[in-house]
Chain A
Amino acid sequence: MAAQNCLVTNDWICGEYLRSRSQELTDATVQHIWITVVSVAIGVAVAFPLALLARRSRRFAGPVLGLTTVLYTVPSLAMFSLLLPVFGLSAALVVTGLVLYSLTILVRNILAGLEAVPQEAKEAAHGMGYGPARLLWEVELPLALPALMAGIRIATVSTVALTTVGSIVGRGGLGNLIEDALPSFFKAQVLAASVLCVLLAVVADLLLLGLQRLLTPWTRIRATHGGAGAPGPVKAV
């Protein structure tokens, strides 16, 4: 009965807990992943046109950057509760809050990436008869990809962490397990859910890094020649 014992004595690490509640852990992890993926995907879909708009004219840049920055200062608990009258207790509420947060990081990174595209590259494409749409898709976007992917990585990692707060409305993935375990001081569950959450963030980051490498093969060639491919410091948000 040694295995049963760790649940009774409330140990931090408990194999029996992992075995008996594996279904619960899997469900929570799956919920966590889809909330994160949907939030970041919608975030990118919204941030991209916003960044294009901000780039197009200074009149849009100020309000777009200002608004997304202000949104970022709203506390997550407050954000979820402010959206409560609109969405009720639903996953849409958590996703909307997370999308609003990711916008700050994504818009800034996409904008920085597009603005760093060398003028000569754009002029060369113009000279070859590229229209604005083709210029964007075939020249600017690939060159801005490293900055864009850096933004997506930061947004994803912080979204994984923030999703736990969604447990206030019962849609927090692994956060739900943590909140359920609190009143009874269930150590094994709090620790397991917390560790899984950090692991999820690390795995997502590595996957995105791999995707970035696949999408930008030219940066690797440059790196082997001069070692200049090292990423710059990530901007603190």
Chain B
Amino acid sequence: MGVLGEAWTWLTTGANWSGESGVAHRLGEHLYVSGVALALSCAIALPVALYLGHRGKGGALAVNLANVGRAIPVFAVLALFMVSPLRNAGYIPTIIALVLFAVPPLLTNAYVGMTEVDRSVAEAARGMGMSGGQLFLRVELPLAYPLIMTGLRSAAVQVVATATIAAMVGQGGLGRIITAGFNTYDTPQVVAGALLVAVLALLVEAVLVGVDRLLSPLRRRRPA
């Protein structure tokens, strides 16, 4: 209990929030790196998954990719970047590592969502004279939407949580508060940093649940 109290004191001390290594700056870095990584992952994974899902082919590839992805430690990937010339490229190593990490779950979920659309529904849409594009936009995409969003949510939370590891190779983000506390044997600071990241991950989850509800295509369709 003592440590938690001290961690709270650390968090509520204004001086810890300002400056280069303060909470505000680290939070900015963390959100920037996670946001860019997630946007890039979506830009890469979703078109591929939706296209493969629409054609109904290539599924084994997507699922296997996701399983291989799990075996690759982000820490090792980051470390490899940091001993290569990429170490001078600012946030780029962290962003690449996080993209590699986030693409597999996004890809699998979107693909599975597309292929689980009832074939008879797709055939009925075809029978009503829908073109491939119309079928995709007006039938498959809305029906696959819940699973796509589930994938996006878990990817976002995992990216925010994993961006912490960047600190272990000296990159920015909230993890630096934890590692800095570690190096100075300042346990309250370590706990404070851990709490900050955990709360941020849960906040991101909550925001995405809200966005999900607002955007859900099935919810928007009011009874006529």
Contact = CB atoms under 8 A, between A and B. Distances in A.
User: Is the pairing of A and B real?
Assistant: yes
Interface of A: 70, 73-79, 81-82, 84-85, 154, 157-158, 160-162, 164-165, 167-168, 174-175, 178-179, 181-182, 185-187, 190-191, 193-194, 197-198, 201-202, 205, 233-234, 236-237
B79 A181 contact: yes
Contact of B168 (A179, A181, A236): A179
Best-surrounded residue of A154, A191, A233 (most CB of chain B within 10 A)? A233
B135 interface: no
Given A74-B201, A75-B162, A78-B193, A201 B105 contact: no
Contacts of A154: 67, 70
Contact of A75 (B77, B164, B169): B164
Contacts of A75: 160-162, 164-165, 175, 194, 197-198, 201
Nearest to B166: A77
Contacts of A186: 83
Nearest to B150: A236
Chain B facing A: main interface SS = helix
Nearest to A71: B198
B109 interface: yes
A165 B168 contact: yes
A181 B168 CA distance: 12
Given A168-B179, A185-B83, A237-B154, A70 B202 contact: yes
A194 B73 contact: yes
B63 to A, nearest CB: 5
B144 to A, nearest CB: 13
Interface string B60-87: 0001001100111111110110111000
Interface string B147-175: 00011001001001110110111100001
Most buried by A among B84, B105, B175, B197: B197
A82 to B, nearest CB: 5
B73 A164 contact: yes
Contact of A234 (B80, B108, B195): B108
B71 A233 contact: no
Contacts of A79: 194
